[in-house]
Structure 1
Amino acid sequence: MLNKVYDWIDERLDITPLWRDVADHEVPEHVNPAHHFSAFVYCFGGLTFFVVVIQVLSGMFLSMYYVPDIERAWESVYYLQNQVAFGQIVRGMHHWGASIVIVMMFLHTLRVFFQGAYKKPRELNWIVGVLIFFVMLALGLTGYLLPWDMKALNATKVTLDIAQSTPLIGDMLKTLLSGDEHIVGAETLTRFFAIHVFFLPAALLGLIGLHFLMIRKQGISGPL
């Protein structure tokens, strides 16, 4: 059945050459753990992407129940965790995944740095990778407020004060994040939700796509 569906699509779109171009791509010997134990350090990038996929899928599940309103946000999270089937598991995956993905990205960044993989001709890919790292930090920052509990409120107040201390654009940055009243309220929650669910994921997917495109074009960097 699946073969017939594939043949039907391939007859119209000719996807076989594209699939072979992806599937038949050779992996360098130095990243094969069967030949070199040190090749495991090359797994950090793939593991990071795997956790990102989990974050996206679990986040899509959570967004079906979350209500970005100051009167119902905490209640929606409580309902999700205690009433929805597997809700506690999915939320736990999303919660711990937010920390794990930062750790994996940090390890991946260390591997790239100490092996000199940021040097010519991969300078642009290094810049894109750093931008991905900042986007992931911003995702964790904006997602922290969404449960709307006291810990999240106090942490966000500190975040807004840090944003306000930014030279030249501090006041504008705080207004952008918190709203015109400069307090952690309904506008802040709405803006953090929009940034967390729409703007940052769009930027993340675009940067990851560009990252993979350059890796495919330039190949995986060699050992020291």
Structure 2
Amino acid sequence: MLQKIYDYVDERLDITPMWRDIADHEVPEHVNPAHHFSAFIYCFGGLTFFVTVIQILSGMFLTMYYVPDIVNAHASVYFLQNDVAMGVIVRGMHHWGASLVIVMMFLHTLRVFFTGSYKKPRELNWVVGVLIFFVMLGLGLTGYLLPWDMKAYFATVVTLQIAESVPIIGDFTKALLAGGEIVGAATLTRFFAIHVFFLPAALLGLLGAHFIMIRRQGISGPL
């Protein structure tokens, strides 16, 4: 059945050459754990992407139940955890994955730095990677408020105070994020929009550029 579907699509779109180009792409020997024990450090990028995919899929599930307003936000999270089948597991995956993806990305960044993989001709990819790191931090920051409990509320208050202390653009940044003088309904709505629409769009664009450059330039050499 699957072969018939593949043949049907391939006959019309000629996807086999593209698929073979990906499947037949050779991986350098120094990133093969079977040949070099140190090759495991080259897995951090792939693991980061794997956790990112889990975050995207679990986040899509959560948005089917989450209500982004100050009256129903916390109640919708409570309902998700206690009344939706597997809801507590999916939310737990998303919650802990938010921290795990930062850890994995930090380890990946260290690997790139200490192996000199940021040097010519990969400087631009290093810049894109740093931008991805900041987007991930932004996702963690904006997602923290969404449960709308006391911890999330006061953590966001502190975050906005820090943003306000930035020279020149501090007041503008706080007003843009908070939507007013206090952390309220406008703040929750803006954080939800940034978390679900703006930052994921930026992340997908940056990841696409990251993977294209890796494909063009290849995996960096050993130490």
Instruction: Name the TM tier (shorter chain).
Output: over 0.9
Q: List runs of 5+ in structure 2 lacking aligned partners.
A: none
Which residue is equivalent to 1:149? 149
Which residue is equivalent to 1:24? 24
Q: List runs of 5+ in structure 1 lacking aligned partners.
A: none
Offset, 1:105: 0.2
Which residue is equivalent to 2:67? 67
Normalization by structure 2: what TM-score?
Answer: 0.99
Q: How high is the sequence identity, in percent, across the aligned residues? A: 82
Which residue is equivalent to 1:197? 196
Which residue is equivalent to 1:135? 135
Q: Is 1:119 aligned with 2:119?
A: yes
Which residue is equivalent to 1:166? 166
CA distance in 1, matches of 2:36, 2:105: 22
Amino acid at match of 2:196: V
Which residue is equivalent to 1:188? 187
Normalization by structure 1: what TM-score?
Answer: 0.99
CA distance in 1, matches of 2:183, 2:29: 53
Offset, 1:35: 0.1
- SS of residue in 2 equivalent to 1:144: helix
CA distance in 2, matches of 1:147, 1:182: 21
Offset, 1:182: 1.8
4+ runs deviating over 2 angstroms: none
RMSD across aligned positions (CA): 0.4
Offset, 1:125: 0.3
CA distance in 2, matches of 1:139, 1:7: 40
Offset, 1:117: 0.3
Superimposed CA distance per residue, residues 101-143 of structure 1 (whole angstroms, 9 cap, x where no aligned partner)? 0000000000000000000000000000000000000000000
Amino acid at match of 2:205: G
Offset, 1:167: 1.1
Which residue is equivalent to 2:44? 44
Amino acid at match of 2:193: A
Superimposed CA distance per residue, residues 161-208 of structure 1 (whole angstroms, 9 cap, x where no aligned partner)? 0111111111110010001x2210000000000000000000001101
